[in-house]
Amino acid sequence: MTTPTKLVIASRESALAMWQAKHIQSRLQALYPNSTIEILGMTTTGDQILDTPLARIGGKGLFIKELEQALEDGRADLAVHSMKDMPMHLPEGFALAAIGEREDARDAFVSNDYSALDDLPAGSIVGTSSLRRQSQLQARFPDLKIESLRGNLQTRLRKLDEGQYAAIILAAAGLIRLGLASRIAQYISAEHSIPAVGQGALGIEIRADRLDLLPILAPLNHPATASCVEAERGMSRALSGSCTVPLGAYAVREGDTLQMTGFVASIDGRQVLRETVSGTANEPEALGKALASKLIAQGADKILAALDEPHPK
Ligand SMILES: NCc1[nH]cc(CCC(=O)O)c1CC(=O)O
């Protein structure tokens, strides 16, 4: 392997994306002290459309397309993403070079007035644009009112502080990384709110033909996290999941074994299917598929098909 003279990291410009890019920059700088490691910040379509629920604007690809363009043009060598924002199938010509160690994967309850979900009075307005969070929350608390909440982390916190919501639900990982863990009133257990596929993990994307980068980036891969996230993505792929369907999966690795829970729900949370599997960490994708098959046997395909039918508004 030749040590690179220069590496350019493409990143979105939100505070969290920049934290993630700088984290990878300092890891690379420590590995390759004689190289120049730069960050190329850019705005994506997903950052610009802030008033529409993600499920309606077509999902995850919107946050990564401009970064992939920079990889394509050679303006950047690698792009850093939250694995949660990565589509289940990368566009032709791109590949994941590494998956970094997972931060806390749980969802967080953030409120200025209440210290736990159980304390919210009936009718309270909770902000989230995630169908996954919405369906799991409504299943437990049918009397809460869910309202859309978009924007980067800072924007979402500001909207909470302005009083539009009694509480909001965010990924704990983002808050922790930005030094905002003190805003978390309650960590919601993965039992109660199964996290999004890949939540809390970072992905390093490259152009598929840049084989030269594989050995350079390999030390950034965290094998235990990678097997968990590949298993979760395997389930989602088998159910053709995107952020337009209420679905989640969470795998934990112990030794050579993965233990994994997944769910599929109707948006109102009235139907929630949940299954658990465990198996070898060597074949994570297959384990994810096995979990999907168990969910399909329970009727997951019918729930997902119903989501495709036109519904009001
Ligand atoms: N969808 C936006 C997004 N992408 C990644 C994170 C959080 C950090 C992570 O999962 O790595 C967030 C914010 C959130 O869900 O609150």
Pairing of strands 107-110, 36-42: unpaired
Q: What is the pLDDT of residue 313?
A: 38
Q: Which of 77, 85, 104, 107 is labelled catalytic?
A: 85
Q: Is the domain of 11 the same as that of 128?
A: no
Residues 226 and 207 placed together within one structural domain of the fold: no
Q: C-alpha dihedral over 190, 193, 196, 200, to 10 degrees?
A: -50
Hunting for tokens 């994506």 — which residue is that? 44
Residue 228 within a domain: yes
Q: What pLDDT, on the 0 to 100 scale, is given for residue 312?
A: 46
Structure token digits, residue 93:
């010509």
Rounded to two decimals, what is the model's pTM? 0.93
Closest CA to 182 of 117, 119, 108: 108
CATH number of the domain to which 241 belongs: 3.30.160.40
Mean pLDDT is lowest, of 112-116, 193-197, 270-274, for: 270-274
CB count, 10 Å around CB of 49? 14
Distance 4 CA to ligand 1 centre (A): 31
Residue 118 within any structural domain of the chain: yes
* Residue 65, domain member (yes or no): yes
CA distance 44 to 152: 12
Our answer to whether residue 73 is catalytic in this structure is: no
Q: How confident is the model at residue 265 (pLDDT cuts 50, 70, 90)?
A: very high
Q: What is the spatial distance between Cα 33 and Cα 131, in angstroms, rounded to a whole number? A: 44
Beta-strand pair 125-127/167-171? parallel
Counting residues of the chain whose pLDDT is more than 70, the rounded percentage is 91
Residue 145 belongs to a domain with what CATH number? 3.40.190.10
Range of the domain at 179: 107-188
Tokens standing for residue 39: 């960050």
Tokens standing for 32? 């390759």
- In this predicted model, what pLDDT tens digit does every residue of 61-108 receive, in sequence order? 677 888 999 999 999 999 999 999 999 999 999 999 999 999 999 999
Ligand 1 centre to CA of 174 (Å) is 6
CA-177 nearest atom, ligand 1: 8
Assess whether 306 and 236 both reside in one domain. yes
Cα(212) to ligand 1 centroid in Å equals: 30
User: Which position has the token pair 């384990």?
Assistant: 287
Residues in the chain: 313
**Domain co-membership, 132 together with 214:** no
Specify if 193 maps to a domain: no
One-letter amino acid identity for 44?
T
Q: Which atom number of ligand 1 is nearest to the Cα of residue 173?
A: 8
**Same domain for 113 and 160:** yes
For residue 171, how far is its CA from the centre of ligand 1 (angstroms)? 6
By most ligand atoms within 8 Å of CB, the mutation choice from 84, 157, 228 for ligand 1 is 84
Q: Which residues line ligand 1 (CB under 6 A)?
A: 82, 84-85, 170-171, 173-174, 199-200
Predicted complex ipTM: 0.94
Which neighbouring-strand residues pair with 263?
248, 274
